[in-house]
Amino acid sequence: MTLNDVWFLLIAVLWTGYFLLEGFDFGVGILLPILSRSESERRVLLNTIGPVWDGNEVWLLVAGGATFAAFPEWYASLFSGFYLPLLIILVALIVRGVAFEYRGKVDSDRWRRNWDRAIFVGSLVPALLWGVAFGNIVRGVALDSGHHYVGGLFALLNPYALLGGLTTLLLFVTHGAVFLALKTTGDIRYFARDLTKRIGVVTLVVAGGFLLWTQLSRGDAVTAATALVAAAALVGALLANWREREGWAFLATAGTIVAATATLFLALYPNVLPSTLDPVYSLTVTNASSTPYTLKIMTWVAVAFTPVVLLYQGWSYWVFRRRIGVQHIPQATPTPQPAPAPAGQR
């Protein structure tokens, strides 16, 4: 195994970690207007991810930075060809982050409702478009001999990629519902568990269809195994949720996302961006990579700093591991109103 292969594997791990952790963040944001009926319940939902959502987004930054440094040709062709979809994702993530920070700045129901809508849209759009993007990466795009994307925007909206987008959307919503059932008490917990029972079956059908399509078009024995693991884990999550074992259900949905992402990267390898015009024009782990010296330096940096990041993030999850409910949300103190002036002084 060369350093090119090692860094392809590391980038796959980074994207897997991002989908695993940010996946339930997106799910909670999408479920915000569905599972909450009052301001206290909305604050409960937001507080389940409040301490960790920004740390989860670091995985995306590192994955993008690692792609830029290890496979600059891949990065250049991907971000130039997918410019508009990636720009939309970036804007959605920025609006979502601002909404988390500014939602409580003004004591106004209208103000909070507007930022809640921003959280919903800022969670739904990336959850959908990441699947569309990776569907196109695995399927291949129109790359010419200079590794330039020569297709249009609508070429990216093909049936396979759209099914991939629907798959990630449903997987993240299911993952988020299971996370809420694990992290909350009271009505929200029961609502989230009931929603998982209903949406989980739809997710199983859609995700199963997408993985089957991937297997038939680009798969082999290894991808068949990981796809079966993903399907089995999702079935296990639904069974665990039905038996009210939220911890096992969350581990199972996490396993589903890990196995499904592994299936996509295994189906992609040794390409990093296939060309639908001519296989010779495809970007691979060899012709898209940086120099061996660059990859060597990156490897030493990753070995030094990755354990520190993992330990810190694991510690933060441990600190905020307990369930929360509306009883933990402090009630707003009414603003004192001035006493009315006597009738003679009006």
Of the CATH numbers 1.10.10.10, 3.40.1180.10, 2.40.128.110, 1.20.1630.10, which one belongs to the domain with range 3-328?
1.20.1630.10
Angle at 213 between CA 29 and CA 277, to 5 degrees: 100
Domain boundaries, the chain: 3-328
What is the C-alpha to C-alpha distance for residues 142 and 19, in angstroms, rounded to an integer?
A: 26
User: What would the pLDDT profile of 142-162 be if each residue is shown by its tens digit?
Assistant: 999 988 999 888 899 999 999
Confidence of residue 341 (pLDDT cuts 50, 70, 90): low
- Beta bridge partner(s), residue 273: 283
| pLDDT surpassing 60 at residue 335 | no
| pLDDT surpassing 70 at residue 234 | yes
Query: What are the strands, taking DSSP E only, across 197-330?
Result: 271-273, 283-284
User: What would the pLDDT profile of 88-114 be if each residue is shown by its tens digit?
Assistant: 999 999 999 999 999 989 989 899 999
| pLDDT surpassing 70 at residue 265 | yes
pLDDT of residue 312: 87
**CB contact at 8 A, 331 and 38:** no
**Whole-number average pLDDT of the chain:** 91
pLDDT of residue 330: 78
